């Protein structure tokens, strides 16, 4: 998977199409990512020892990695990610601009 925690991504499909957010967690085995503020679901919980009040809790659900693309630069333009070797080190770069991604 070419996406990493902390990357700014744009949603390509679904109810949150067009929104931009940062990746908070990458689920490699299921090829999914969790993006802050994207794909927020409401869960009704009963009161328990851990949660005394119960009620409605908002949880961010995972979204498939194929439904997001990396945005890069101040213009926030979507781009594909590639790999190349620089000084004997494998680095990611934006295919649209050619700049190295940290």
6 pLDDT more than 80: yes
Say whether domain 8-101 belongs to CATH 3.30.540.10: no
- In tens, the pLDDT along 11-43 reads 999 999 999 999 999 999 999 999 999 999 999
Whether the pLDDT of residue 3 is over 90: the answer is yes
End-to-end alpha carbon distance in the chain:
15
The pLDDT assigned to 16 comes to 93
Predicted confidence at residue 93, as pLDDT, reads 92
Of residues 101 and 11, the one with the higher pLDDT is 11
Predicted pLDDT at 40: 95
Q: How far apart are CA 19 and CA 46, in angstroms?
A: 32
Looking at residue 24, its pLDDT comes to: 97
Contacts of 20 (CB under 8 A, 6+ apart): 8, 9, 10, 11, 71, 76
Tell me: the pLDDT tens digits for 57-92?
Answer: 999 999 999 999 999 877 888 999 999 999 999 999
Domain chopping of the chain, boundaries: 8-101
- Beta partners for residue 33, in sequence order: 26, 63
Rounded (10°) CA dihedral 65, 83, 98, 35: 20
**How far, in whole angstroms, is CA 34 from its chain's centroid?**
5
CA-based R_g, the chain, Å: 17
Specify whether the CB–CB gap between 25 and 5 falls below 8 A: yes
């Amino acid at each position: 998977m070419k996406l990493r925690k902390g990357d700014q991504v744009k949603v390509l499909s679904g109810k949150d199409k067009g929104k931009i957010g940062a990746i908070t967690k990458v689920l490699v085995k299921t090829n999914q990512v969790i993006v802050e503020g994207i794909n927020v679901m409401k869960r009704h919980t009963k009161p328990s020892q851990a949660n005394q009040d119960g009620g409605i809790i908002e949880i961010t659900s995972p979204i498939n990695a194929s439904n997001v693309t990396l945005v890069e630069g101040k213009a926030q333009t979507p781009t594909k990610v590639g790999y190349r070797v620089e000084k004997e080190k494998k680095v990611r770069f934006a295919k649209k601009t050619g700049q190295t991604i940290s």
